Amino acid sequence: MEKHIVLLPGDGIGPEVTKAARQVLQAVADRYQHTFTFESHDIGGAAIDQHGTPLPDDTVQAAKKADAIFLGAVGGPKWDQLPGHMRPEKGLLGIRKQLGLFANLRPVQAFQQLLHASPLKKEVVENSDLLIVRELTGGLYFGQPSERRNNGQEVVDTLAYERHEIERIVDQAFQSARVRRKHLTSVDKANVLESSRMWREIVEEKKADYPDVTVEHMLVDAAAMKLVTNPSYFDVMVTENMFGDILSDEASVLTGSLGMLPSASLNEQSVGLYEPVHGSAPDIAGQNKANPIASILSTAMMLKHSFGMEEEAEQVQTAVTGVLQEGYHTADIDLKNGVKVSGSELAAKIVDQ
Ligand code: NAI
Ligand code: MG
């Protein structure tokens, strides 16, 4: 198969982990006789420096024509003083919005080899395998107005959803649950928020369409607690934008590091943008310390969701597990008996496998 992939390396460790992702995709192409072509574009702080905007038109146009998009990460202290609309994060929010990437799938799987790397007890982490389905283009992160008022003495952010936006993410979550263990937990704050009460109503309406899936509602604060006390309880969790952002970083402790979590963001045509869950990690950027696994697992999601290459995706997963099995890991993983290597060394070992 021929596929055209747009790479958006971004800032900080973004370019390092994007390089690893590309190497793995190339290895898959070589092994399975596919032709993958790559085209890189600027986003985030890198785009501000080069073009004066976090999301140049060129980048959007290229992304719209791609078969799939890979994004590293954006942001960093260099751009922190810029006004809100000029910040690197606007590039990321902008591309999600422009491509209509409303469904963010974040699988969280505890690797057997890394059970001791989690600060949680082994018995707690063991067997956890869940999927967070996060709404990505609505809610607080896109709410208008979002502004300071009264000479800076008052501030407002807005949490808004339209019915169809909730319906489509809930459908996505039910469909994901169907091909997993068929248990859906809808996470909200319906005891306080009107948006959550509508969310709950829609989940209730939709469940008749998916009789094979069991559904429950859970308040976000309780869900946050259960995620670290009994994570194997969960199969699929569906939630709005901000709750999903926070819960997925929290869930990363199950895997031992934020550097292990991949994600896929899909639109209604299933054009996908794939990115690690972590940010640009300015504290370790340029030191070849970044864990490439989140990015490499994101390429596995790309192969599966955007290209329908199930076997290739499985092969990437197996390579990651194999390298972990041999004890190799980057510095973010706290393992006593492992072999600590650099980010590029770890990527090379995964490519070899
Ligand atoms: P972060 O996710 O960049 O880093 C949090 C901690 O995890 C840091 O100690 C970092 O060194 C570590 N870490 C993250 N990824 C790692 C990896 N692959 N390997 C090893 N260690 C890793 O979050 P932080 O520090 O809050 O934000 C830094 C910048 O990233 C900010 O400008 C923020 O706005 C941006 N950001 C961007 C995101 C994106 O592009 N999708 C998502 C989250 C934050
Ligand atoms: Mg986050």
Parallel, antiparallel, or unpaired: how do β-strands 129-135 and 103-109 relate? antiparallel
- One-letter amino acid at 176 equals S
Q: What per-residue confidence (pLDDT) applies to 320?
A: 97
Residue 87 annotated as lining a ligand binding site:
yes
Among the listed residues 67, 171, 249, 334, the single catalytic one is: 249
Query: Is the beta carbon of 104 within 6 A of some atom in ligand 1?
Result: no
User: Which class for 153: exposed (0-12), middle (13-18), buried (19 or more C-beta within 10 A)?
Assistant: exposed
The closest alpha carbon to 161, from 83, 237, 243, 236, belongs to 243
pLDDT of residue 83: 86
Dist CA 327 CA 319 (whole Å) = 13
Measured CA to CA, the distance from residue 227 to residue 205 in angstroms comes to: 26
Between 3.40.50.800, 3.40.718.10, 3.40.50.1010, 3.40.50.2000, what CATH number should domain 119-254 receive?
3.40.718.10
Catalytic residue check, 249:
yes
User: Structure tokens of 78?
Assistant: 């260099």
Output the residue whose Cα is nearest ligand 1's atom 6: 281
What are 317's two structure tokens?
Answer: 């997963």
ipTM of the complex as predicted: 0.98
pLDDT value at residue 166:
98
Q: Read off the DSSP letter of residue 185.
A: E
Query: Please, are residues 333 and 322 in contact by the beta-carbon 8 Å criterion?
Result: no
- Evaluate: CB of 89 within 6 angstroms of ligand 1: yes
Residue 197 Ramachandran class (φ > 0 left, ψ -120 to 50 alpha, else beta): alpha
Among 189, 207, 226, 340, which one carries the catalytic annotation? 189
Q: Where are the domains of the chain?
A: 1-102+262-353, 119-254
Selecting from 1.20.1250.20, 3.40.50.2300, 3.40.718.10, 3.40.630.40, what CATH number does the domain 1-102+262-353 have? 3.40.718.10
Beta bridge pairs of residue 239: 134, 187
Asked if 256 contacts 114 with a C-beta cutoff of 8 angstroms, the reply is yes
Q: What is the pLDDT of residue 270?
A: 65
Judge whether 189 counts as a catalytic residue.
Answer: yes
d(CA 328, CA 330): 7
User: Phi, psi (5° rounding) for residue 283?
Assistant: -65, -25
Cβ–ligand 1 contact at 278 (below 6 Å): yes
> Fold identical between 1-102+262-353 and 119-254?
yes
CA distance linking residue 165 with residue 163, whole number of Å? 5
Residue to probe by mutation, ligand 1, list 258, 265, 330, most atoms within 8 Å of CB: 258
At position 114, the amino acid (one-letter code) is: L
pLDDT per position in the chain (353 positions), as tens?
Answer: 999 999 999 999 999 999 999 999 999 999 999 999 999 999 999 999 999 999 999 999 999 999 999 999 999 999 999 887 789 999 999 999 999 999 999 999 999 888 888 889 999 999 999 999 999 999 999 999 999 999 999 999 999 999 999 999 999 999 999 999 999 999 999 999 999 999 999 999 999 999 999 999 999 999 999 999 999 999 999 999 999 999 998 998 999 899 999 999 999 886 799 999 999 999 999 999 999 999 999 999 999 999 999 999 999 999 999 999 999 999 999 888 899 999 999 999 999 99
Q: What is the pLDDT of residue 337?
A: 86
| Cα(122)–Cα(257) distance, integer angstroms | 15
